[in-house]
Structure 1
Amino acid sequence: MVISWLGAASVRIITSPLQEELVIITDPCDPKALGLKRGKLSADVVTVSAPHHPLHNAVDEVRGKGDASPFVISTPGECELKGAMMYGIPARSGKGDRANPCTLFLFESEGINLLHLGCLGQGKLTDGQLERFAHVDVLFVPAGDPDGLTVAEAAEVVGQIEPRIVIPIAYEPGKGKGKFQNADKLIKELGLEAEEPVAKFKLAKKDLPAEETRLVLLESE
């Protein structure tokens, strides 16, 4: 399995649960909104945690493989594709008058469970939500989204889930002068030692830490 970060809350997961490659892209964002220049991406599956939010819903930026269109999931539910299971769990983004429905996505492939929090903004997870993903190996947590979780809330959610690997998303590398804050405050709040950033994170089930939690930083493409 290979994981890369495409900026904002967008992540690409390349996996082969049944030997056939499956590409998943979460929360695609228009690269122009992030000051990036790149061509269209390709994927088998696109998940959208917040259809109402322009930094999470740029489905047109992703094409399918060959002549096919990507399979788009933007609501709660479950499906299976090429041996990988995908579950959408209802949640809320924002707070108060700015609250909107959003979807958390759990992916199960190659014996690894990955949870993408997307546009989560409600704060602490409910017992019902936690029951849906009792075991999480890799957690993608927004670290600097001003419209999402606060640093304290993000750290609390990590503590609720207790993943083996934490990968921050939705933050601005460096001093955080763009649309997002940097991840420094969350890293400090978690009390974990961040690893050196990598462009692509390769992972197999045998590589999952047995006890400690790893904090993996990705370089944005």
Structure 2
Amino acid sequence: MTGRQSFRGVLVDGLRVQFGAVEAVTGVDLSVEQGQSMALLGRNGAGKSTTMRVLAGVVPPTSGTALVGGYDVREAALEAKRVVGYCPDVGGLVPRATPWEHLQLSARLRDLADWEMRGRALLERFDLGDVAHRVTAGFSHGMSRRLSVVLAALHEPEVLLLDEPFDGVDPVGVEATFDVIEDARARGAAVLVSTHLRDLAVEVCSEVAVLRGGTRMATISSGFMAGDDGARAYRALLAG
């Protein structure tokens, strides 16, 4: 088994991702410690989702280093995936399967024991209890987003990656996602949230990394990014 490094959060150094002639990520550096939550903030195409996919083991990095839970996503891919809970920005659900069947599959793949009570509690928290045995094909975008967060959180991962978890989600779902993030932080997990919603990012995360054109422009405390002053600072970073 590949050795595990002492830093158990998220560590990204000089990350670059290229698809053919297109560089989706051109140099991102991040560090999220255990018990900390950070937001990746930026417009569509800023490189947020690509960075998250690298950390989740979905997309390989072209160059640079990416560690999750102390594992290198390239050299210890399987070990890295085991410590991660990942909510992708799109997809990830089986249309003909119910939420409960999704939970059963996730528990089986991860060899989880005594997961049913936590699974039911998460579905209720996200207002999905009444549709637990309904196929997801007819779910709204917001319902699918909520279920994706539930699946990411089920096994209480060491690293929680939530890519656009608030997109199309109602206030109940937003509050439930906040609770999941706070629960994860309380047990010492590192949390990375990708979003284009500045107000929600600064409310739930202690730091914000602003991405533009595949590059990290700045990492700023959430307090500085809040309110009207934060909105102006954010616009300035996006404008360059």
More helix by share: 2
Q: Which has the higher contact order (CA 8 A, sep 6+)?
A: 2
> TM-score, normalization: structure 1?
0.36
More strand by share: 1
